[in-house]
């Protein structure tokens, strides 16, 4: 682990490896405020970054963008890496919404008319979200040669997958990507968590000796995120299946963040707003659990209505395939449901005697 306070030396270049939809624009804006305008470069994509004159890059002290991990040889400076991670399901939903509200995005023509479920199912969309965080950090070689092709012809070029395979020989689900990504972020000067944005700013400021803003400025916040009732469990399940490496990386990142933050809180309590519990669920995860329970309760109410109004009560009680979508085996909700079924069955037998 790096030192709790990692001041930049003269020959070091601070690099914010900006993974899409991880609160990175707001984060970048704060970091840029710590430097003179000519000392920062925040081009979004590699195709723009490589066009910056070498003399301008030589003067800068901070760069940010969707530039992946392996750019050390290109900048020819010692990079001090920092990044932000986000719950992969929430990041994917946010990215989906971002594409739909941006006609200039390469994926817009395909995604604009898709539901979240259609997006999750679409093999072409896997490039946009399948283990994206792990790929950004764990990729073995840089993507300079492919950058323009990747973002301009994302859905049009037939041989795109073959090109990508030269950089990801094991595909988007290669466990070695995760191994490299986990090893690399263990050496980052800072790893933040988007769901803990304010605390991440506190830790970042402590790490580099900056003043934490009293109010963080939110930039590029989406307003078209699907409503909870528009997000099906099937879509979440598909996204979760396609982001298993990201989920593991996210857990590693949380451990690094929590350990660093709590160390800061112990040594400099005036800089920390609270002490963080490693096992504490994010608000988004809690909200999904609440939504799930509400759907289960609604389903129970519907079954009760059918039982009370239909002679086919025995059939309704046995439609396990449908109710399992809302009430999984082993859950607390299932225990309530089974007691409810037993009670109804007992009452019905009494009426038949």
**Residue among 135, 95, 102 at smallest CA distance from 119:** 95
Residue 271: is its pLDDT beyond 70?
Answer: no
Same-domain pairing of 211 and 257: yes
Residues 108 and 80 in one domain: yes
Is 2 within a domain?
no
Does 189 fall in a domain? yes
Per DSSP, what are the bridge partners of residue 190?
A: 82
CA gap 109, 105 in Å, rounded: 8
Report the C-alpha gap between 141 and 70 in whole angstroms: 6
> Tell me: the pLDDT tens digits for 55-74?
888 889 999 998 888 787 77
Nearest Cα to 234, choosing from 349, 117, 114? 117
Q: Which of 351 and 243 is assigned the larger pLDDT?
A: 243
Q: What digits encode the pLDDT tens for the residues 304-341?
A: 565 555 545 455 445 555 566 566 666 666 676 676 66
> Which residue segment(s) compose the domain that 251 sits in?
12-280
Rounded Cα distance between 18 and 24, Å, is: 6
Mean pLDDT in residue range 137-160: 59
Placement of tokens 């859905």 in the chain: 155
Is residue 337 situated within a structural domain?
yes
Strands of 40-41's sheet in order across: 40-41, 62-65, 12-17, 78-85, 190-193
Shared domain check, 88 and 133: yes
User: Has residue 195 been placed in a domain?
Assistant: yes
pLDDT tens, position by position, 106-146:
778 889 999 999 999 999 888 889 999 999 999 886 555 65
Q: Whole-angstrom Cα distance, residue 238 to residue 215?
A: 36
4 in a structural domain: no
| CATH assignment of the domain containing 241 | 3.40.50
Per-residue model confidence (pLDDT) at position 337:
66
Give residue 157's pLDDT.
43
Residues 221 and 241 in one domain: yes
Are 44 and 97 in contact, with CB atoms under 8 Å apart?
Answer: no
Q: pTM of the predicted model, to two decimals?
A: 0.72
pLDDT tens digit sequence for 339-351: 666 665 555 444 4
Mean pLDDT of the 278-289 span: 51
CB burial of residue 293 (10 Å; 0-12, 13-18, 19+): middle
Q: How does residue 105 score in pLDDT terms, banded at 50, 70 and 90?
A: confident
Look at residue 227 in the predicted model and tell me its pLDDT: 76
Residues 53 and 144 in one domain: yes
Answer yes or no: do 214 and 340 share one domain. Answer: no
The average pLDDT across 3-30 equals: 84
The answer as to whether 305 is a domain residue is yes
- Give the confidence band of 288 by pLDDT, cuts at 50, 70, 90: low
Domain boundary among 280, 304, 338: 280
Q: Count Cβ atoms below 10 Å from residue 91 Cβ, excluding itself.
A: 24
Both tokens of 313, joined, read 């009560």
- Give which of 331, 80, 36 is closest to 207, Cα–Cα: 80
When divided into structural domains, the chain yields a total of: 2
Question: Mean pLDDT throughout 41-54?
Answer: 78
Residue 22, pLDDT > 70, answer: yes
171 backbone φψ class: left, alpha, beta (φ>0; ψ -120 to 50): left
* % of the chain surpassing 90 pLDDT: 41
Q: Are residues 274 and 302 in the same domain?
A: no
- Residue 86: CB atoms within 10 Å: 27
Among residues 257, 280, 303, the one where a domain terminates is 280
Residues 239 and 299 in one domain: no
The position carrying tokens 């070689």 is 141
Listed residues 262, 280, 298: the one ending a domain: 280
Average pLDDT over residues 97-110: 86
């Amino acid at each position: 682990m790096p030192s709790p306070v990692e001041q930049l030396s003269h020959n070091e270049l601070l690099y914010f490896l900006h993974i899409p939809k991880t609160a990175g624009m707001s984060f970048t804006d704060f970091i840029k405020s710590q430097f003179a305008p000519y000392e920062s470069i925040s081009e979004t994509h590699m195709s723009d970054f490589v066009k910056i004159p070498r003399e301008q890059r030589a003067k800068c002290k901070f760069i940010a963008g969707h530039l992946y991990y392996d750019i050390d040889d290109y900048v020819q400076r010692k990079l001090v890496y920092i990044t932000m991670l986000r719950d992969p399901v929430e990041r994917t939903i946010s990215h989906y919404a971002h594409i739909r509200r941006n006609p200039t995005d390469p994926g817009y023509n395909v995604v604009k008319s898709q539901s979240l479920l259609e997006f999750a199912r679409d093999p072409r969309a896997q490039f946009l979200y399948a283990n994206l965080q792990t790929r950004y950090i764990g990729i073995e070689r840089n993507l300079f040669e492919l950058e323009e092709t990747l973002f301009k012809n994302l859905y049009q070029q037939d041989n795109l997958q073959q090109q990508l395979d030269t950089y990801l020989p094991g595909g988007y689900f290669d466990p070695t990507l995760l191994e490299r990504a986990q090893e690399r972020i263990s050496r980052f000067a800072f790893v933040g968590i988007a769901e803990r944005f304010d605390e991440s700013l506190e830790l970042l400021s402590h790490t580099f000796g900056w003043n934490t803003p009293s109010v963080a400025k939110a930039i590029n916040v989406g307003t078209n995120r699907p409503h909870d009732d528009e997000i099906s469990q099937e879509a979440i399940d598909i996204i979760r299946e396609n982001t298993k490496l990201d989920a593991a990386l996210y857990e590693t990142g949380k451990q690094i963040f929590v350990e660093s933050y709590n160390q800061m809180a112990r040594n400099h309590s005036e800089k920390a707003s609270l002490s963080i519990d490693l096992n504490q669920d994010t608000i988004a995860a809690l909200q999904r659990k609440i939504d799930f329970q509400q759907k289960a309760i609604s389903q129970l109410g519907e079954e009760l209505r059918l039982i009370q109004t239909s002679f086919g009560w025995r059939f309704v009680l046995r439609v396990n395939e449908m109710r399992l979508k809302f009430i999984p085996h082993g859950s607390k909700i299932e225990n309530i449901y089974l007691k409810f079924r037993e009670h109804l069955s007992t009452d019905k037998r009494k009426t038949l005697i």
